[in-house]
Structures are given as C-alpha cells and as structure tokens.
Amino acid sequence: MTQAPLLDVQKLRKSYPIGRRGLFSRRTLNVLHDVSFSVAPGEVLGLVGESGSGKSTIGRAILRLIESESAAMRFKGQDLNTIPSGRLRDLRKDMQIIFQDPYASLDPRKTIRAVLSEALDAHGLHRGPARGPRLTELVNLVGLDPSFLDRRPHEFSGGQRQRIGIARALAVEPSFIVCDEAVSALDVSIQAQVLNLLADLRAMTGVSLLFISHDLSVVRFISDRVMVLYLGRVMEVGPADQVHFAPKHPYTAALVSAEPSLHRENRRIRLTGEIPSPLSLPSGCIFRNRCPYALPACADTVPQLQTVGDQHQAACLRHDIL
C-alpha cells in the first residue's frame, strides 16, 4: 500500500476484570491480544470470527465506545488514545457505526426525522432551511420514501429499519463506518438488497468500512481484505478471495469448509474439541487443541503473523501444508 492508511491500529488489547484474587491482584479476562491492522481510504476490511473472537470489541474500541489499550491507534494521523474529548466529538463525525439488531438500534419513541436530525444537530450540520432537503436526500440515498420521515420505527420492517440505521450513519458524511453484523439479522432477500446498497454507497462516497460478520460468504463479497480472528488473536489476514478460496491457516480452512453451501460438495474439515475457555488458553498456538495439523512444536511458541503471499499473512507454523 502506497497510500497512508486511514486507520492504523497497533497491538490493540482489551481486558475485563473478573473478580478479585486477594486484595490487590485482580484476575483479568483478555479478549483481544495485540491485534494490529490498518484500513486504507476507501477500503473494506472484513472481520470474521466465531462468538468470543472479539470482533465486535474491536469495532467498539476503535470508536472509543469502550476503553481499550493499544500501542497506537491512529485515525487520519490523529492518535485516538490521547485525543482530548472535545476533539473526539469532532472525530465522531468521521467515524460511524451500523448495528446488527435493527430493532434495538432505533429509539422507539423518535420519528425518523428526529433520529436523523440528532446526527446533524450533534455537529451543527445543515441547520435551518437546509435541514429538510438534506433529510430527504438521506432517505433517498438509502432507497426509502421521504414520506417515511415522520413515522416511528415500529411501522417499518427489519430491512427498512436497517436502511434507516445506515442513513443515520451516513448523515454526518463519515469517511469510516464500522458495520457490526449489519446484515446478519436480515432475511436473505433483504440482506442482498442491503449489501448492494452498501456496495453502491461505497462506490459513490468512497467511505471505508470495517465489516464485521460471522458469515464468510457475505464478508468475501463485500470486502477487499479479510481478517480472521480466533479468541482475540489474528489468525490470518489477506485479500478476500485468497483467504476464502486458498486459506493458509487451518482455522480459516475449517471455517470455510463448515459453511453450509448449496453449490459445493461439503468436504468438511473436522475440528476436535471445543473452543477453549478464554480463562485457560492452551500454550503456544491457541488453536492447536482443535487443529487437525497440530505438531508438538505448536505448544511451544506462539506463532507470529508471517507473509504467505501478496498482502497475505497467516499465524501458523504449518501454513505451507495448506
């Protein structure tokens, strides 16, 4: 990448205290271990992983909706860790989020006009007579009718609510949006509409997306690059098609093979055992207790991400066997 990244995250960590052991020592649960990545302007980075992989935590940590630790977290060159709170509010105009649950993400008591106006008011955008046309433009942008503006969320279907959530995120013209399972709760036919909408918006506005999802096919379709997480660690990161069709990490391979498909003969890679508890992770590679290719050496060292192809990295001692 020659361009300076829009977002650059180095060694992101997040831990939660879970009770005390003695008076001063606290037990902590680490949900993210040194996650590093960057997003280029206009790029869509897909984030996949199973529950407990920490993918939603990453999205919220970047937006500073939860506190986290990191060596560096730069957005447009500004360090998000040290930014004063006044500047952070300005920065929120540039970074937005779309939520999974279209029912919980809209205040049931507010009309769509109030929902979208809140976004504009927060940053003093399009005041006075400019407000009306801007709201109409926003609802048109997401394929809704302007007559919907004065209705409340309960009058809409899940797909329409998701479009309203997208319009809210777009209202402040952000350059970066976290899509946290943004299409997962939608029915297949509606999901395709919303995916197309996101692809169109990206082509039109050049917005960058961090697209978080557990659905690998959806992530492959929408993303330029894909990052695979397992228990808070990056297993593999690379161009979407390569990660999907030629994975270099056994976990990615297992995930792809487990995905039910109409068109592929399923040759599933069987994983033994259960996902280990985050409180007692195996030594060395955290995937080794379920990995069909694990060697004794996997217990000794934590594999680091190493380059396995063009822009393609995997954290596996045995990446060459796949």
Partner 1 sequence: MMSMPRIPTRMIVPSLLLAALIVIPFAAPLITAEDPIKMAVRYRLAAPDLAHWLGRDEFGRDRLARVLYGGQVSLTVAFVATSIACIVGTFFGLIGAYFRGPSEFITTRLSDIVLCFPPILLALLVVTLFGPGAGTLVAVLSVLYFPTFARIAFSEALRVTSLDFVEASRALGTPSRRIVLGTILPNIAGPLSVQYSLTAAAAITIESGLSFLGLGVVPPAPSWGQMIRGARQFMNQDPLGILIPCAALVLTIYAINFFCDRLRDTLDPKGGAGSGMDDVSAPLALANAPAIDDPDVVAMITDLRLETSRYGTPVAVIEEVSLTLRANQCTALVGESGSGKSLSSLALMGLLPGAIRQASGTLQLRRKSGDVVDLGFLDARTLEDIRGNDIAMIFQEPMTSLNPIHTISGQMIEAILAHRPMSKTEARSHAIALLKRVGMNDAERRIDSYPDQMSGGMRQRVMIAMAFACEPRLLIADEPTTALDVTIQAEIIELLQSLRQDQASGLSLLFVSHNLGIVADIADRVAVMYSGQIVEEGLADLILRDPHHPYTRALIESMPSSHEALHSTGGDRLPAISGTPPLPSARPSGCAFRDRCPIAIASCAEIRPQLYPSPDGERSVRCLRAPEAPGGLQMSRTEAA
By CB under 8 A, is residue 279 in contact with partner 1? no
Extract the tokens encoding 80: 């998000």
By CB under 8 A, is residue 34 in contact with partner 1? no
Q: How many helices (H) and strands (E) does the chain have?
A: 9, 12
Restricting to residues 282-311, name those near partner 1 by CB under 8 A: none
Instruction: Out of 32, 97, 149, 308, point to the residue binding partner 1 (CB under 8 A).
Output: 97
CB of 300 to partner 1, least distance (A): 25
Residue 34 or residue 276: which is nearer to partner 1 going by CB?
A: 276
Residue 226 or residue 234: which is nearer to partner 1 going by CB?
A: 226
By CB under 8 A, is residue 187 in contact with partner 1? yes
Residue 89 or residue 300: which is nearer to partner 1 going by CB?
A: 89
Restricting to residues 58-87, name those near partner 1 by CB under 8 A: 60, 63, 65
Closest CA to 180 of 9, 66, 69: 66
Instruction: Out of 148, 214, 293, 322, point to the residue binding partner 1 (CB under 8 A).
Output: 214
- The residues facing 98 across adjacent strands are 179
CB 252 within 8 A of CB 209: no
Restricting to residues 236-255, name those near partner 1 by CB under 8 A: 240-241, 245, 254-255
Restricting to residues 156-175, name those near partner 1 by CB under 8 A: 157-160, 165, 168, 172
Give start and end residues of each alpha helix (H) in 172-320: 188-205, 216-222, 240-245, 250-258
Largest Cα–Cα separation, the chain: 70
Contacts with partner 1: how many residues (CB under 8 A)? 77
Whole-angstrom distance, CA of residue 146 vs CA of residue 132: 10
Closest CA to 222 of 211, 230, 214: 211
